[in-house]
Amino acid sequence: MRARLFLRCLSLLVLCAVLAGWTGAYTDVRATETADTEDLEQQKKDTEDKIDSIKSSIDTVEDKIQDLEDSKSDLQTYITQLDGQVNSLSAQIQDLEDQIESKEEEIQVKTAELEEAEAEAADQYEMMKLRIRYTYEQGNQSFLVLLLESKSLADMMNRAEYAMQMTEYDRQMMEKLKETQAQIEAQKEDLEQEKTEQEEMLDEVEEQKSAVNSAIDAKTQEIASYQSQIQTASGEQSEYEKQLAEQEKLLEQIENQIAAAAAAAASADDGDGGASGFLWPCPASHRITSSFGPRTAPVAGASTYHKGIDIGASSGSAIVASAGGRVTTATYSSSAGNYVVVSHGNGISTVYMHASALYVSVGDVVSQGDTIAAVGSTGYSTGPHLHFGVIVNGSYVNPLNYVQ
Ligand SMILES: [Zn+2]
């Protein structure tokens, strides 16, 4: 009774929400402990479902983070390319600036040459004017002076010719200076034109560089946005992982409680049965039709070393749990038919075979004497009987050492 009270307290502490939703799926042959265990099993299943769902959320958020990281990485690669373009454009700009600078130097040289030529022309002109005036003054002072000063006609002619030659010289000199000045002017214009073209190119390249820099700024902002999304997703991931750890801890607690309930149920029935604590599994009949140990197989496929005792009984007779414990197997096999295995703790289990019906499921906690199945003839069987076996630490032992 104390153990039963303990289980009720345990169930009240551990379960809460699940109780409302639980509906008994089986017959009422089982004790309260079974219902409590069923609640625990339901809670275990709910927790496992929650864990699956959280793991799926973690997978989703991890995929999202991976996608964002990929996009970020692509952008970083693109920015590296853009940086390369900026470097190349900067080199072009530097080159053009150098060219413009050297063009300016050439223009300065040409300007100086032009100024020099202009000054020379001006000097030449002044000298020419002086000479022309002299010639005219000579002329104005009349031909007489030329005649008087001339020692001979030849001399006079020479003087006159010289004056004429000087005038021709001045005229030629003026032509030459004008030509030189025009050449320098043209060269200077060419240089100015080249400089203008280079400056236009410089503007163009600087515009390109500015455009690439704008693109880099935009992509850098996109990266920042990705980074921010990655941080948000990482936060979600941490939150899910925290939830996962909590649910896994809860699951472990529930599993411990299930084990504790099974152990409590097993010990709760100690002393209720025979001297060994085990109860005869078939109250309707004590007729042993086949003993434990070596034998001739009664039907093809049946064991020649009999791993339990056969108790002959009419079909439908109650099969009861020999001791309290937890149902670890409740299924059908071609040889054992419908059969149940109940674990009692301390390495001991009991086996009930060839049943016509099973009243328990895996995970159920049963008390000693609970009806768990009905006698039948399923599997390798020649007629209705209960095959009852006892397993201790994985080996079959003679059940008569446990039940009378
Ligand atoms: Zn048997």
Q: Is 152 exposed, middle or buried (0-12, 13-18, 19+ CB in 10 A)?
A: exposed
Choose among 255, 256, 238: nearest CA to 54: 238
**Cα–ligand 1 centroid distance for 200 (angstroms):** 106
CA nearest to 261, candidates 14, 49, 78: 14
Using the structure block, give the residue that is written with the tokens 């005869």.
280
CB-based contacts of 329, cutoff 8 Å, min separation 6: 339, 340, 341, 362
**103-115 mean pLDDT:** 88
The Å distance, Cα 364 to ligand 1 centre, comes to: 24
- Predicted pLDDT at 358: 97
Q: How far is it, in rounded angstroms, from Cα 2 to Cα 6?
A: 6
Instruction: Kindly give the distance from the C-alpha atom of residue 303 to the centroid of ligand 1, in angstroms, as a whole number.
Output: 8
CA of 217 to the centre of ligand 1 (A): 84
Angle at Cα 43 formed by Cα 41 and Cα 47, nearest 5°? 115
CA 325 / ligand 1 centre spacing (Å): 22
Q: How far is the CA of 328 from the centre of ligand 1 (A)?
A: 20
How much distance in Å is there from the Cα of 288 to the middle of ligand 1?
10
Say yes or no to pLDDT of 262 above 80. no
Domains and CATH numbers, the chain: 63-239 (1.10.287.2610), 287-401 (2.70.70.10)
Pairing label, strands 348-355, 337-343: antiparallel
Looking up tokens 């001399």 gives 155
* Gap from CA of 66 to ligand 1 centroid (Å): 60
Round to the nearest angstrom and report the end-to-end CA distance of the chain: 26
Percent of the residues in the chain that have a pLDDT greater than 70, as a whole number: 76
How far CA 222 is from CA of 100, 231, 361, 398, in Å, comes to 38, 14, 58, 77
Position 16 pLDDT exceeds 60:
no
What are the beta bridge partners of residue 391? 349, 396
Q: How far is the CA of 380 from the centre of ligand 1 (A)?
A: 9
Ligand 1 mean position, distance from CA 395 (Å): 16
Instruction: Quote the ligand 1 centre to 388 CA distance (angstroms).
Output: 7
Q: Show Cβ contacts of residue 314 under 8 Å, excluding neighbours closer than 6 positions.
A: 284, 285, 375, 384
The DSSP secondary structure of 13-32, one letter per residue, reads: HH-SHHHHH----S-TTS-H
Mean pLDDT calculated for residue range 111-118: 86
C-alpha–C-alpha distance, residues 40 and 130, integer Å: 131
Residue 299 CA, ligand 1 centroid: distance in Å: 11
Sequence-separated (6 or more) residues with CB below 8 Å from residue 9: none
Quote the ligand 1 centre to 282 CA distance (angstroms).
Answer: 14
* Ligand 1: centre distance to CA 88 (Å): 92
Question: Widest CA span of the chain, in angstroms?
Answer: 187
Phi, psi for residue 381 in degrees, rounded to 5:
-150, 145
Q: Which residues contact 334 (CB under 8 A, 6 or more apart)?
A: 379, 380
Q: What is the pLDDT of residues 180-229, one digit of tens each?
A: 888 888 988 998 898 899 899 889 989 988 988 898 898 899 889 999 99
What is the whole-number distance in angstroms between the Cα of residue 370 and the centre of ligand 1? 22
The pLDDT value given to residue 53? 93
CA 334 to ligand 1 center in whole angstroms: 14
- Closest CA relative to residue 245, chosen from 1, 50, 62: 50
3-state class percentages of the chain: helix first, strand second, coil last, to nearest 5: 65, 15, 25
Q: How far is the CA of 186 from the centre of ligand 1 (A)?
A: 126
Ligand 1 centroid, distance to 387 Cα (angstroms): 4
Ligand 1 centroid to Cα of residue 381, in Å, is 8
Q: Which helix (H) or strand (E) holds 104?
A: helix 32-140
The tens digit of pLDDT for each residue in 266-320 reads 555 444 433 358 999 999 999 999 999 888 777 766 777 899 999 999 999 999 9
Angle 32-140/142-149 helices, nearest 10 degrees? 80
pLDDT at 23: 37
CA 382–ligand 1 middle distance (angstroms): 10
* CA–CA distance, 204 with 200 (Å, rounded to integer): 6
Residue 68 in contact with residue 230, Cβ under 8 Å? yes
CB environment 321-341: b (16+ within 10 A), e (fewer): bbbbbbbebbeeeeebbbbbb
